[in-house]
Amino acid sequence: QVQLVESGGGLAQPGGSLRLSCAASVNIFSINAMGWYRQAPGKQRELVATITRIGSANYADSMKGRVTISRDIAKNTVYLQMNSLKPEDTAVYYCKGSLRDGDYWGQGTQVTVSS
């Protein structure tokens, strides 16, 4: 059983930045890939960024240049740095871990971009 706990969401102004954190209950080397997804009201959940066990990062085309996914292995934590935030970035952001026995999701953290 893997638990993922997101934090760092909140209210940001357009053009501002936020850093989200996802703390895993296991060594993240045991997780094949971790990723950030988001779901806006009335929309489907969509990929933001992923990072593999060996540290290879992948980004959604719509987010490239504005977000950076990284990790702290010692803390079993994956981060999502978001810059130049836009109102359309408002969503619940979820962390996902993909293991051999399936996918695990965190509870989500709300990001609201508004002036």
pLDDT at residue number 111: 98
Q: pLDDT > 70: what percent of the chain? A: 100
CA distance 14 to 69: 20
CA distance 94 to 113: 16
User: 3-state class of 70 per DSSP?
Assistant: strand
| Nearest alpha-carbon partner for 8 in 108, 115, 114 | 108
Tell me the pLDDT tens digit for each residue of 14-42: 999 999 999 999 999 889 999 999 999 99
| Pairing outcome for strands 109-113 and 10-12 | parallel
